[in-house]
C-alpha cells in the first residue's frame, strides 16, 4: 500500500472541478485518508517547492499557489503514486491524453490543475508538510473488491 499527496490547484477550484476530480480518484479505487481545503501561505509554498527556489518560474508559481485556496488530498492504495500520476496525465492538458484528468479537463500550457507526488520519498515529505497531524487510518468495506485483498 502506498499513500500519495495530490494538490488540487487554484485553477481546479476556480473551475469547479474539485468534486469531479475527487470522484475520479475514488472511482478508480483510491482511498481518501486526508482532505484539507486551505490557502497556501508563502512559507508553506517555499517548503513544498524548495527544489524550485531560484528558478525563473518560482515567483509566479508561488504567487499562483498562494492566491486562492487549494485542496490537499491524501490517497492510499496499491501503487497509489503510479496510479494517480497515470490518471493525471502529462503535465499540461494540451499534451495530455484524453481519459486522463488533465486531458479531459485542461487545455492550457500554463495551468495544470493538479500536483501529485512523483516518488515514495516525495510523498512522505509532502504529506508531512500538508498533514503534519497525520492521516486517517481506516479500511473501506469495499477494499477487497478494489485491491485484491483477502
CATH for 127: 3.30.70.141
Residue 122 included in any domain: yes
The cell numbers describing 75, all together, are 490517497
Query: Terminal CA-to-CA distance of the chain, rounded, Å?
Result: 14
pLDDT in tens, 54-71: 999 999 999 999 999 999
Cell matching residue 74: 491524501
Task: Give the pLDDT confidence score for residue 109 in this predicted structure.
Answer: 86
The boundaries of the domain holding residue 59 are 2-133
pLDDT of residue 149: 58
Kindly list the catalytic residues. 115
Asked if residue 141 belongs to a domain, the reply is no
Distance CA 61, CA 7 (A): 14
Residue bearing the bigger pLDDT, 142 or 84:
84
pLDDT band at residue 22 under the 50/70/90 scheme: very high
CA gap 43, 123 in Å, rounded: 19
pLDDT (tens digit per residue) in 32-50: 999 999 999 999 999 999 9
For range 118-128, the mean pLDDT: 97
Calpha distance 70→79 (Å, rounded) = 24
Do 71 and 37 meet the contact criterion of CB atoms below 8 Å apart?
yes
Q: Residue 145 — pLDDT band, cuts 50, 70, 90?
A: confident
* 36: β partners: 72
Indicate the number of domains in the chain: 1
Distance CA 88, CA 72 (A): 15
- Rounded to whole angstroms, the maximal C-alpha distance in the chain is 50
Q: Is residue 139 part of a domain?
A: no
pLDDT tens sequence across 60-111? 999 999 999 999 999 999 999 999 999 999 999 999 999 999 999 998 888 9
User: Contact 62/112 with Cβ under 8 angstroms?
Assistant: no
Host H or E run for residue 31:
strand 31-38
pTM comes to 0.93
Amino acid at each position: 500500500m502506498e499513500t500519495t499527496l495530490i494538490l488540487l490547484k487554484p485553477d481546479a477550484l476556480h473551475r469547479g472541478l474539485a468534486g469531479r476530480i475527487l470522484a475520479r480518484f475514488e472511482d478508480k479505487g483510491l482511498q481518501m485518508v486526508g482532505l484539507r481545503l486551505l490557502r497556501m501561505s508563502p512559507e508553506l509554498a517555499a517548503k513544498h517547492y524548495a527544489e524550485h527556489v531560484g528558478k525563473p518560474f518560482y515567483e509566479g508559481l508561488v504567487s499562483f499557489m498562494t492566491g486562492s485556496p487549494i485542496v490537499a488530498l491524501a490517497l492510499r492504495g496499491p501503487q497509489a503514486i503510479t496510479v494517480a500520476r497515470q490518471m493525471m496525465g502529462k503535465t499540461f492538458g494540451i499534451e495530455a491524453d484524453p481519459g486522463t484528468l488533465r486531458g479531459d479537463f485542461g487545455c492550457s500550457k500554463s495551468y495544470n490543475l493538479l500536483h501529485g507526488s512523483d516518488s515514495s520519498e516525495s510523498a512522505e515529505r509532502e504529506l508531512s508538510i500538508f498533514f503534519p497531524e497525520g492521516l486517517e487510518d481506516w479500511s473501506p468495506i469495499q477494499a477487497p473488491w478494489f485491491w485484491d485483498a483477502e
